Chains A and B, each alone.
Chain A
């Protein structure tokens, strides 16, 4: 690995990490989509550099597939943004923290910045998840009842 290739790999890693930071910290839906695209740029640059190091065209062929997947992702993400905006009339991702399970800690309450979601009035009908993880039944009894119902059915 020559230093020339190495610094291209470093720039690719830097782009990926910047996109990850943007995806994790920003609260705007459109900016999150753009950050994911930035991560894909970093990966593409790394793939092209690998192809150059190995003297094959495979890296560039792979990058073309990455480009295809990025186009699909952008289309789906933007239509999702439209659908979510219709429901909440805001691009704030924290409006959708209601989708978490009820016993989970709210992502808005523990932030060091005291970030809180701005829930618009009149939009409390948004969908919520039912609590996951029912209490498991006693396996012996449940198998016994299952056997009973099976025998009754036969």
Chain B
């Protein structure tokens, strides 16, 4: 632990700065003047940029680098602004921007389908949230419960202890992941035939000529189906996870029935 503190001073400094800025920005503190708000925001931004800098020097191209800094820092900054916004309308807007930044990070991690799906799903969600905010929260100006936060200091401190622990684990422990090389079809058939040659002739007819496959073999990426390819993702979803897809559809059905059952009836009167 102390070794980590010595080796990664930037991570610790970034976390501490970030937490201080967040405590400063939380509603309910004395910082209500716009200038104090700007100062808190600057401290927060400096903290999280330092935090993102703390993980070595990546060997990425310049374009990837620029995109990561744009989207990653953008997502974290929009998240900070969302949870500290006094007005729920602004919070919903910042949430939409954080979602867009996350979709940009998905694109960088070669998940274009997920980026598109997330944008489509959350566009509807954000619009509905907007409607709710305008319908429910904007009837009598800014409410008192939006101008004060409950127990901000313990929540922020414990959450940042958690984030520090995650960062410590990520930076002190670097597991090596050996990705199995995709076995070419010809290799497998030759090795099979060599194994078969050792067996008596009458057994060869009985033993099915199927190579031992790893579980979830359809999800593995190979040269035909690189990671994030629509074809490979579809094979994974409807091959390995077909049952889970059915369960997810049932879950959506149950959730929509539950939402209709929970929502107030028309005969119970207007809001």
Contact = CB atoms under 8 A, between A and B. Distances in A.
Contacts of A22: 79, 82-83
Nearest to A24: B155
A86 interface: yes
Contacts of B260: 79
B243 to A, nearest CB: 12
A68 B248 contact: yes
Interface in A1-25: 1-4, 6-11, 13-15, 17-22, 24-25
Given A58-B219, A69-B251, A82-B263, A91 B137 contact: yes
Given A76-B255, A91-B143, A31 B91 contact: yes
A1 B177 contact: yes
Contacts of A73: 255
A65 B248 contact: yes
Interface string B246-260: 001001101110111
A73 B254 CA distance: 11
Nearest to A77: B259
Given A6-B171, A27-B150, A60 B233 contact: yes
Interface in A65-93: 65, 67-76, 78-83, 85-86, 90-93
Contact of A15 (B75, B111, B252): B75
Contacts of B236: 56-58, 60-61
For the residues of A in contact with B, the DSSP-based class is: helix
Nearest to A29: B136
B109 A48 contact: yes
A52 interface: yes
Contacts of A91: 136-137, 143, 145
Contacts of A92: 143-145
A112 B228 CA distance: 48
Contacts of A55: 179, 220-221, 227
A71 B263 contact: no
Given A1-B177, A20-B159, A60-B228, A30 B129 contact: yes
The contact size tier of chain A is 35 or more
Contacts of A58: 216, 219, 236, 240
A107 interface: yes
A23 B167 CA distance: 21
Contacts of A74: 125, 128
Contact of B237 (A49, A61, A70): A61
A30 B133 contact: yes
Given A27-B146, A74-B125, A81-B132, A13 B166 contact: yes
Interface stretch (B33-41, B53-61, B188-196, B197-205): B53-61
Contacts of A93: 145
A61 B219 contact: yes
Contact of B72 (A7, A53, A107): A7
Nearest to A69: B251
Interface string B70-90: 001001100110110000100
A128 interface: no
Interface in A95-117: 107-108, 111-113, 115
A65 B244 contact: yes
5 contacts: A6-B170, A55-B220, A61-B236, A79-B260, A118-B145
Given A57-B221, A67-B121, A72-B252, 10 more contacts: A6-B55, A11-B105, A15-B79, A18-B82, A20-B155, A25-B151, A37-B125, A57-B233, A78-B128, A108-B150
